[in-house]
């Protein structure tokens, strides 16, 4: 852990630092255990999280199987906790000039830049996970990854397919995830293949995230977000919905509410961060998926990881 802290500290003196936070799917068995065992700050926050959530999420994170970590009420809080607590452990070496998060990761980013406090954000993440699960149970739905097509072609395919299907995740050039009703997704995948997609693969997810089918979850989460205090951040956040630098708390709140049914515009967010001066992207949390996407968006971008 000390090597990581030193590395990040050195980098902080040389770059304009963009910190990025991963979303759902980055979880792994044993996540966070090293933090818990090596940092009093981490131990205190993990124990507090158990009290807030009303169950021992640490036991599942540290000892649970991959299947147990896939539980909706566990996955999203677990990734949030790993990311946020790691950023806290970094201490004075954690000096973001800008932040962004992929879907769920936006909540981590908003703690990192001071918009939300740890406790409020964790409660929102927990409510978000449960609200999304309920929305998934209302209608069979799924997502699919489309590789090797221009964004405009994928968008056209969604428009020309009967049923609900939309572009949901703009991950990097040539990699876009679509979301919607099961049959509509299957039809859209066939359309994409006919247009030359390298792959159009239905993903093993429980629902159509970032699509109109998440409207019941958006409405439920909106009430909780509206009742939560949003502070003026200490640096801009590049939100999934707008992709540009935002510092106004009320605007951040509106964008966070819209996020559940709007696409994750990750490609555009990274492009705007680079345009605004970002020279180093440091991924904070489990995995290195976002670091890989950043390099695909801009090959010359410098990336680092603060994972443990």
Q: Active-site residue numbers?
A: 103, 210
Please list, in sequence order, all residues whose beta carbon lies within 8 angstroms of the beta carbon of residue 156, skipping any fewer than 6 positions away: none
Distance CA 273, CA 279 (A): 9
Distance CA 50, CA 58 (A): 7
Whether the Cβ atoms of residue 288 and residue 25 lie closer than 8 Å to each other: no
Copy the structure tokens of residue 141.
Answer: 């739905």
Q: What is the DSSP string of 165-229?
A: EEEEEEEETTEEEEEEEHHHHHHHHHHHHHTT-SEEEE---SS-TTSGGGHHHHHHHHHHHHTS-
Strand partners, 75: none
Give Cα 216 distance to the centre of its chain. 20
Distance CA 268, CA 184 (A): 26
For tokens 């406790």, the residue is 119
Describe the strand order of the beta sheet including 141-147 as a list of residue ranges: 165-172, 175-181, 141-147, 199-202
């Amino acid at each position: 852990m000390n090597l990581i802290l030193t590395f990040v500290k050195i980098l902080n003196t040389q770059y304009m630092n963009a910190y990025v936070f991963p979303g759902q799917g980055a979880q792994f068995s044993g996540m966070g255990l090293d933090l818990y065992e090596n940092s009093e700050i981490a131990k205190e926050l993990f124990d507090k999280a158990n009290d807030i959530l009303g169950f021992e999420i640490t036991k599942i994170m540290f000892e649970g199987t991959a299947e147990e970590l896939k539980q909706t009420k566990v996955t999203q809080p677990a990734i949030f906790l790993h990311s946020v607590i790691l950023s806290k452990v970094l201490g004075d070496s954690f000096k973001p000039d800008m932040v962004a998060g992929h879907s769920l990761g936006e909540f981590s980013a908003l703690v990192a830049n001071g918009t939300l406090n740890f406790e409020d954000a964790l409660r929102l993440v927990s409510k978000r996970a449960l609200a999304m699960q309920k929305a998934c149970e209302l209608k069979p739905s799924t997502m699919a990854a489309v590789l090797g097509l221009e964004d405009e072609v994928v968008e056209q395919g969604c428009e020309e397919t009967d049923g609900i299907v939309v572009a949901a995740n703009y991950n990097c050039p040539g990699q876009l995830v679509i979301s919607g009703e099961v049959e509509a997704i299957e039809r859209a995948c066939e359309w994409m293949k006919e247009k030359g997609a390298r792959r159009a693969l239905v993903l093993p997810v429980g629902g159509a995230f970032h699509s109109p089918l998440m409207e019941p979850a958006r409405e439920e989460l909106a009430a909780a977000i509206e009742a939560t205090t949003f502070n003026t951040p200490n640096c801009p956040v590049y939100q999934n919905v707008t992709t540009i630098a935002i510092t106004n708390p009320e605007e951040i709140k509106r964008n966070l509410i819209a996020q559940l049914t709007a696409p994750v515009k990750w490609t555009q967010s990274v492009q705007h961060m680079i345009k605004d001066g970002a020279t180093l992207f440091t991924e904070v949390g489990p995995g290195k998926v976002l670091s890989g996407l950043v390099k695909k968006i801009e090959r010359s971008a410098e990336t680092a990881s603060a994972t443990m």
